[in-house]
Amino acid sequence: MNTRRDFLKCALAGGAAVATAGAGPAQARGNAEISPDAVGLLFDSTLCIGCKACVAACKAANDLPVDINTTPDSPWDVPLDTTARTFNVIKVYKDGKATLKDAEQGGYSFMKSSCLHCVDPSCVSACPVSAMKKDPVTGIVGYDKDACIGCRYCVAACPFGIPKYDYDSPTGAIGKCQLCRHRMQDGHYAACAEVCPTGATLYGKVSDLKAEAQRRLALKAGDTTAFPRGNLTAGDQPSWEGVVPAYVQHVYGEKEVGGTQMIKLAAVPFDKLGHKPLPERSFSSKSETMQHTLYGGLALPVVALGVMTFLAKRNMPKDDGTEGTHTDQQEGGR
């Protein structure tokens, strides 16, 4: 018994020694840095009127089929949430009689749900075959269906529950917003921002969008200001004069999970609009630090190999002469 215990101790100690010699102390990874040319969206909930023009435009731009998931007999294409065939939806918050726009008590407010294009995306970190990739320049989180193996790790990893698996597809596929990257070569941009009549969904460089968001938060509620529409970075874009709402003093997505390229403003607390509080450190940095700690210098594989070797040796028939001696004794007794 002592021999087996000693063997296990040696295996574990040897594995740790080899790993330590080969890798040294693992270094914790911080959040990824955003590209200076990253593009994204600013969604201002106070400007949204719930027309869902963005939902229809997204469907048309991405050639998405009808996606009915309300009731079986419903004739309307009104998805309750994003799916593999619906990349963008508008949800509504309601309280009491819901008569006041953007009021937490007795009011209602709209919220856009689509991919936030994280600066340090968990879906990219979790994908074992690089089917999810982040463009190093634009920062857009894209999806390659030809590389996808249908493991659905991205679905489980996303803190916002955005990537969805298409169970009706014969080959299996993931569906999510890719910020209309296929339209950029023709001079277009995100279809949802192109068609938004109020500028509730605004496209542009993330740096410009953040500056615009901070400008709005600094304004006094009740004053008037210009709200741009379309592509903020393009310049000379249409705008309209509107009354400044009583914004919640927080830009959602500016720091959550390392930052996102779709940021949001609202006059109703974000937790009421379906956005739970999230840490500033990205989940990718945490998981990759853990992986590098366990696998650095083959630490975990070496230890696992030692344990398996011990178990295999323990289950092997003994070859110490005991059986032969016992047989000889039996034959001698005869």
Please give the biggest Cα pair distance in the chain.
112
Within-domain flag for 52: yes
Cα–Cα nearest to 173, from 147, 141, 207, 206? 147
What confidence tens digit (pLDDT) does each residue in 22-34 have? 445 556 789 999 9
Distance CA 158, CA 115 (A): 10
298: pLDDT strictly greater than 80: no
Which pLDDT value is given to residue 301? 59
Using a pLDDT cut of 90, give the percent of the chain over it.
Answer: 67
Structure tokens at 199: 């500028």
143: pLDDT strictly greater than 60: yes
In degrees, rounded to 5, the angle at the alpha carbon of residue 114 between the alpha carbons of residues 108 and 117 is: 130
Instruction: Please state the rounded mean pLDDT for residues 156-185.
Output: 93
Of the residues 236, 260, 279, which one is the last residue of a structural domain?
A: 279
Phi/psi region, residue 105 (left: phi>0; alpha: psi -120 to 50; beta: rest), is beta
Query: Are 181 and 271 in the same domain?
Result: yes
Distance CA 114, CA 81 (A): 9
What confidence tens digit (pLDDT) does each residue in 73-126 have? 666 666 789 999 999 999 999 999 999 999 999 999 999 999 999 999 999 999
Within-domain flag for 137: no
Q: What is the signed CA dihedral for 258, 210, 41, 219, rounded to 10 degrees? A: 130
Within-domain flag for 130: no
295: pLDDT strictly greater than 50: no
Query: Are 21 and 47 in the same domain?
Result: no
Collapsed DSSP state (helix, strand, coil) of residue 324: helix
Which pLDDT value is given to residue 19? 44
Which pLDDT value is given to residue 334? 47
Cα–Cα nearest to 59, from 88, 92, 81? 88
Within-domain flag for 198: yes
What confidence tens digit (pLDDT) does each residue in 42-71 have? 999 999 999 999 999 999 999 999 887 766
Within-domain flag for 133: no
In the chain, the N- to C-terminal Cα span, in Å, equals 34
Distance CA 233, CA 200 (A): 16
In this structure, what are the phi and psi dihedrals at residue 215, rounded to the nearest 5 degrees?
-60, -45
Give the confidence band of 244 by pLDDT, cuts at 50, 70, 90: very high
Query: Are 187 and 315 in the same domain?
Result: no
Domain range for 7 is 2-29+287-333
CATH number assigned to the domain comprising residue 264: 3.30.70.20
Distance CA 8, CA 334 (A): 42
| C-beta separation of 288 from 29 below 8 A | yes
Which pLDDT value is given to residue 237? 80
Which pLDDT value is given to residue 207? 98
| C-beta separation of 269 from 249 below 8 A | no
Distance CA 102, CA 99 (A): 9
Collapsed DSSP state (helix, strand, coil) of residue 94: strand
Number of compact structural domains in the chain = 2
Which pLDDT value is given to residue 103? 97
Distance CA 235, CA 230 (A): 10
What value does the mean pLDDT of the chain take?
85
Distance CA 264, CA 112 (A): 9
Q: Which is more confidently placed, 289 or 309? A: 309
